[in-house]
Amino acid sequence: MTTTAAEQAAEGQRPEGIGGAARAYIDKLRGGDFGSLPAVLGLAALVILFGSLKGDRFLSSFNFANLLGQGAMIIVIAMGLIFVLLLGEIDLAAGVTAGMCAAVLGVTMTEHGWPMPLALGACILTGIVVGLAQGVLVANFGIPSFVVTLATFLAFQGVLLLIIGEGGTIGIRDDTILAIQNDNLPVWSGWILAAVIAGGYAGLTLMRRRSRITAGLATEAFTVWLAKTGFLVAVVAVVTFFLNEERSRRPEITSIKGIPWVLPLILVLFVGLTFLLTRTSFGRHVYAVGGNAEAARRAGISVARIKVICFVACSTLAAVAGILFASRDNSISPSTGGSTTLLLAVGAAVIGGTSLFGGKGRIIDAIIGGLVVAVIQNGLPLVTEQAGIQYAVTGGVLLIAASVDALSRRKSVTG
Amino acid sequence: MSEPDASAVAAGTDTPLLELRGITKSFGAVEVLRGVDLKVRSGRVTALVGDNGAGKSTLIKGVAGIHNFDAGEYFFEGAPVEVHDPKTANALGIEVVYQDLALCNNLDVVHNMFLGREVTRGVTLNEDEMETRARKTLDGLAVRTLHSVRQPVASLSGGQRQTVAIARSVLWNSKLVILDEPTAALGVAQTEQVLRLVRQLADNGLGVILISHNLGDVMQVADDIAVLYLGQMAAQVDTKDVQRNQVVELITAGRSGDIGLSPAMAEVVL
């Protein structure tokens, strides 16, 4: 109620507090910058839809953990794709790169008896080399990324076949690799993790607020900070509580509860990559190249170098997704990372709010968009068994997201 | 703050900030610049005018180090200098604001002003420091048209974008700012804003070269006018000593009454 008084007092000026923040946000939406709002609304709508149709199965904590595991690969590949999408480029091979790197992991461990860390290194190194090669072809040879990665998309499927051998699969037996997607944090450490996340966010944002106030710069109102922090604490608490519930169908035989290991892994990637993109010169230059490559070049930024690094980041994250594939499927097959994997990852990034035209996107988009994709993939089979409908709906959602992206871009250009 | 004062002192002396003597430049068989002289003093706006193809862009690109001159002398602050690339020019304190501005629409004002020269603390960007300095620079130029330095450039008007580009050029202790047609795409009110800013740059003690086709702007803001006519410097005159129609004659015929090229010289060209 105090905000209303403040608004009246400072008419014409931008009001402080939550009212002001809300107004600024509405201005931003009017300007065509929707951010992740459509994805968050879509996610809520889908959860309500599937919840009301098949609530008993869809809304169970078992299914929630399952959904995270299903979505994890898509989310990690999408995180990598955001680097190249920010440049206005594309990596069509990211999915099969994940499959190929997973095969390297499997073959070196199973057939050559390499110790797990060494095999992991080989898997990641494969991703780095792939990204380096694709990046140089795009940035230094000037071949459109669409063509380069369409070629590697085909080639890597072949390499995957050659590594595995026709028709075969490679089993994964390493306990640590399998644990990522199949084991959970103990219940108590889940709560510690939750406390670290909430406390870390509150502490860091409060420190940044302090330093801006000391520097005499405009700062968001304390009530806005309080609301944001409160919201985050609530989300973290609900997710932790939900995942700490017993979700085994027969608890007396095996107990399944706790946060799946893959969740902290995704959080670490999210925090690290977000830091890289928003708090370092490198990240700033990525946005600059995507926004106006010529301006970036004149400002002394090596555009080719930035492009190569982004392609390396994309393929390396695809390799990480490959590890998740190996962990979840317990094996690598010639179809690992193929089929609709890439389409879903691009869809996740775009649904989350990353632009296909470059210059706009955040790592969180991969998580929000990835959850939307995972909910569709997970919820639709509960409602209908027809694969045709599942494909059509997923394609439709991607098309809607791309339309929102194109329309918001047009709005911000004319407005 | 000490920088403009020092330059202002230099303005009182006879040494020009930039002096070019006998500059020539050819592209293949085409002689674009034929013995051009130019003097730019600190604290003054020097307008560079001339018809299309007179050699304005070539002259400016040579000063900025994008092209190399074939022959002639290039003095900066009284000392002969060799400027063979843009970096050398930047190091001397020469900044060019190009017509297309080269801003990133998706970044905010502060990010654009510090693009490629970010201030860091360890590996992280020092946003507070950059925002403070950006604000200070804009205040120093008496810019009142930007509500927030944290709004993306995409949301700014043409005049505001020009303001950001100009402010960026003076962030780095620059001494000479070259503006290429800064008002070409602007409406009346925004042109007025930008011209006021151009005046402010000179009043802060910087040397300013203003390239413009709009004689109204030139007569309003420039202290002296350098007229290029088919690759030769027809005349560099004080704005207060000439009438608008004389400048037009200088641009179109290379001479006007007793100023400009000698009739013989002007005819040789034709």
Q: The domain spanning residue B217 has which CATH number?
A: 3.40.50.300
On chain B, the residues whose CB falls within 8 A of the CB of A211 are 128
- Return the pLDDT at B11: 45
Domain that holds residue A210: 184-259
Nearest-CB residue to B132 (from A217, A291, A301) = A217
What does the pLDDT look like over A301-327, one tens digit per residue? 899 999 999 999 999 999 999 999 999
Q: List, for residues B137-165, the tens digit of each pLDDT value.
A: 888 888 887 888 888 898 888 888 888 99
Nearest beta carbon to residue A288 from set B100, B115, B124: B115
B17 domain residue, yes or no: yes
Q: Say yes or no to pLDDT of B258 above 50.
A: yes
Considering the domain boundaries, does residue A214 fall inside one?
yes
How many separate domains does chain B show? 1
**ipTM attached to this prediction:** 0.83
* Collapsed DSSP state (helix, strand, coil) of residue B244: helix
Mean pLDDT of A121-139: 96
Scanning A288-317 for CB atoms below 8 A from B yields 288, 290-292, 294-296, 298-301
Give the CA dihedral A169, A174, A176, A180, nearest 10 degrees. 20
Contact check, Cβ <8 Å, B154/A301: no
Residue B40 lies in a domain: yes
State the distance between the two ends of chain A, measured CA to CA, in whole angstroms. Answer: 33
Kindly report the nearest CA distance between residue A292 and chain B, in angstroms: 5
Q: Which two tokens stand for residue A85?
A: 């999408």
Q: Which pLDDT does position A23 carry in this prediction?
A: 80
The mean-pLDDT minimum among A277-281, B107-111, B250-254 falls in B250-254
Predicted confidence (pLDDT) at residue A101 exceeds the cutoff of 80: yes
Could you count the other beta carbons within 10 Å of the beta carbon of residue B120?
A: 13
A68 occurs within a structural domain:
no
Structure tokens at A300: 């002394």
Q: Does residue A304 form part of some domain?
A: no
Q: Does the distance separating the beta carbons of B116 and A299 come in below 8 Å?
A: yes
Assess if residue A237 is contained within a domain: yes
Q: What is the H or E stretch that residue A179 is in?
A: helix A175-182
Q: Is the pLDDT of residue A18 over 90?
A: no
Q: Is residue B235 part of a domain?
A: yes
Q: Are strands B45-50 and B207-211 parallel, antiparallel or unpaired?
A: parallel
A348 in a structural domain: no
The answer, yes or no, to whether residue A375 has pLDDT greater than 80, is yes
- Please, which residues have CB within 8 angstroms of residue B62's CB and are 6 or more apart in sequence? B23, B25, B33, B68, B69, B83
Count structural domains, chain A: 1
Residue B166 lies in a domain: no
- Has residue B143 been placed in a domain? no
**Nearest residue in A to B115, CA atom:** A299
| Contacts with B158 from chain A: Cβ below 8 Å | none
B194 domain-assigned:
yes
- Give the whole-number percent of chain B exceeding pLDDT 70: 92
- Counting one residue from chain A and one from chain B, the pairs whose CB atoms sit within 8 A come to 75
**pLDDT for the residue numbered B22:** 92
- Kindly report, residue by residue over A218-267, the tens digit of the pLDDT: 888 888 888 889 999 999 999 898 888 888 777 777 788 888 899 999 99
Most confident range (mean pLDDT) of A82-86, A209-213, A357-361 is A82-86
Amino acid type, B223? D
Q: Is residue B118 part of a domain?
A: no
Chain B positions with Cβ closer than 8 Å to A: 98, 100-107, 111, 115-118, 120, 123-125, 128-129, 131-132, 148, 150, 154-155
Count Cα neighbours of A245 within 13 Å in the Cβ-side half-sphere: 15
The answer to whether residue A254 sits within a structural domain is yes
pLDDT above 70: residue A412: no
Residue ranges making up the domain that contains B69: 2-101+176-269
Looking at residue B266, its pLDDT comes to 59
Strand segments (E) across chain B: 18-27, 30-40, 45-50, 71-76, 79-80, 94-97, 120-121, 124-125, 176-180, 207-211, 224-229, 232-238, 255-256, 259-260
Which range among A122-126, B32-36, B45-49, B186-190 shows the weakest confidence by mean pLDDT?
A: B186-190
Contact A128, A312 (CB under 8 A): yes
Whether the pLDDT of residue B15 is over 60: the answer is yes
| Alpha carbon distance A97, A91 (integer Å) | 10
